[in-house]
Amino acid sequence: AKTARAALDANNDAMASVIAAMKSAGIKERDLQTAGIQISPRYNYTNKPDGSQEAELIAYQVTNTLSVRIRDIDKTGEILDKAVSLGVNQGGGISFSNEDPAATLTEARKKAVADAMAKAKTLAEAAGVSIGRVLEITDQNVAPPPIPMNAKAFDVARESVPVQAGENSYTVQVTVTFELK
């Protein structure tokens, strides 16, 4: 737009439509979060005969980033399609995560400790000793990295955008200190 005010007003109207569409698709208020707003001047640069450039302010641009948490993965394609249909023309990353990974992490800890004990037993036997009592156990969760997906790669078709959630993995690293006998 020609002024920052006009650009912001147009953005406000467009973003209000996007937010309303997200809510009508079942996205709760708590799952919508403004992640950034930028108001930037746009210039047209022309080269002058002396080699310098002349900048002419031609417009203002507003970029408004909305973070959307979709709890029903089956709706992801539909929501992306709806957003693009409303004029969303830039996207960030998509990442998939478990809402509550506690049970998965508990199982991973149990397996990590069992694995550590089996390795310690093998090493102790190879050294001609045996393991005694456990003196210390520490663990460290290794969070799975987000699985990024560039929104510009989506093919806006008549049907919703195909999205595959795949599988998340969790890693727990344990350190177990044993007494040797």
* Model confidence pLDDT, tens digit, residues 139-160: 886 665 544 444 333 343 345 6
14, 87 contact by CB (below 8 A): yes
Q: What would the mean pLDDT of 66-83 be, rounded to a whole number? A: 88
pLDDT at residue 47 tops 80: yes
What is the value of pTM for the model shown?
Answer: 0.61
pLDDT in tens, 92-139: 677 777 778 888 889 989 999 999 999 999 999 999 999 999 999 998
- Band the pLDDT of 32: cuts 50, 70, 90: very high
Domains (ranges, CATH) in the chain? 4-99+146-165 (3.30.70.2970)
